[in-house]
Structure 1
């Protein structure tokens, strides 16, 4: 039997096929997405070198070159949408520039984690956030500036410090336990914060979010919940998912 087209539903991807690009050391993104994925949706991953320099012209050029290559690979699987699942690597202004470039090169809708975080906080009506990350001070400062550029003020931030000794330290991020993530979120929270943001797609957050929301009364957004939520919505899926926080349950 000859098939003339590979777009459209497949045996497992009856509703949508979502591609995601992750950094090479990341092991939490796919695991957390697998827990959130509704029936009929399949996830297809590619690994791309980590890009931490998104401010310089040379850094941006290297990022865009790699994104074009790896997004192109995912497009060959006829995915319905491509997500770049890296917070630090996607903090490029304007926030729509990188996903628009991905769509231009692949013909597929695209989202990035940085873009998804901004959209998620807007959906929740949060303009002041408490920020917890696994990063070092320099990368935290970069994220604070990026969020400020998009109308979101960070009232307090703290990181675990990974990356200060070099990018090889990022391998340790996926080893941070949920109870440590919970404790970090409680430390950074401030009365004036309207939401808590847990940044980094390699940070395991799902087992902390519901408890934090119940105790603080605030929405808790992580890089993975934001990206997955925005990917579903951009793929035309309106599923409301329980157990992963207010964002996926109500928006």
Structure 2
């Protein structure tokens, strides 16, 4: 196959990645999933708490457009806005579609990737584990339900209840606590376990949880990475990262 890029490290594809300022997990997990010949290139952008009002959405789009212009200079093939809560906008494809139209670069968002991943797996009933506090958990429940999913249970850790200054703690959650939280969130009868937040460390747990629970496990970083690979024509089936990347 003819290389897409004249690059030692990324002849197959270059992926752009936008993360919130405090996020330190997304890059670490993507690094561990990256197939040979593909690279990713990151930029940080401030958090946007208001994504529902017209003014809030306009501010988000303006900031994203500026960051896209920066990352485009690296000749990336697609760019992901990797913030779960910040991309939970309906219709689910409205944000990535508008970004693609505005910037001329294929855009992917974490929330749209999650919906696409769950649909690819053919599931409709979910148990959900998050690190978030009640307000974001309620927003996420409504977002999932509006996209056709039944949320059997959604459990959060309460991080952010006292403001966004707490979000830095998400990445510091011990992996054992994440695992226990995920198991406790699962309700028998759910068809999948969804673990959200791109700063929540989950990658080593996906296969373990699938084996114990007997259902697919979808995470924010895994779903966004899967969507980016498929958006750039990389169809590798990757093992050790859950049913989504192995089978779809």
Calculate the TM-score normalised by the size of structure 2: 0.97
Q: Specify every segment of 5 or more residues in structure 2 that has no aligned partner in the other structure, as ranges.
A: none
Q: CA deviation at 1:192?
A: 2.0
Which of residues 203, 207, 215 is equivalent to 2:204? 207
Q: Specify every segment of 5 or more residues in structure 1 that has no aligned partner in the other structure, as ranges.
A: 1-6
Which of residues 58, 78, 81 is equivalent to 1:81? 78
- Output aligned runs, 1:1-251, within 5 Å: 8-251=5-248
Q: CA deviation at 1:32?
A: 0.2
Partners in 2 of 1:52 and 1:194 — Cα distance?
30
Partners in 2 of 1:96 and 1:25 — Cα distance?
26
Partners in 2 of 1:27 and 1:9 — Cα distance?
29
What's the RMSD between the two structures over aligned residues? 1.0
1:23 touches 1:49 (CA, 8 Å); kept in 2?
A: yes
Q: CA deviation at 1:244?
A: 1.1
Partners in 1 of 2:205 and 2:174 — Cα distance?
10
Q: CA deviation at 1:101?
A: 1.6
Q: CA deviation at 1:52?
A: 2.1
> What stretches of structure 1 move > 6 A for 4+ residues in a row?
none
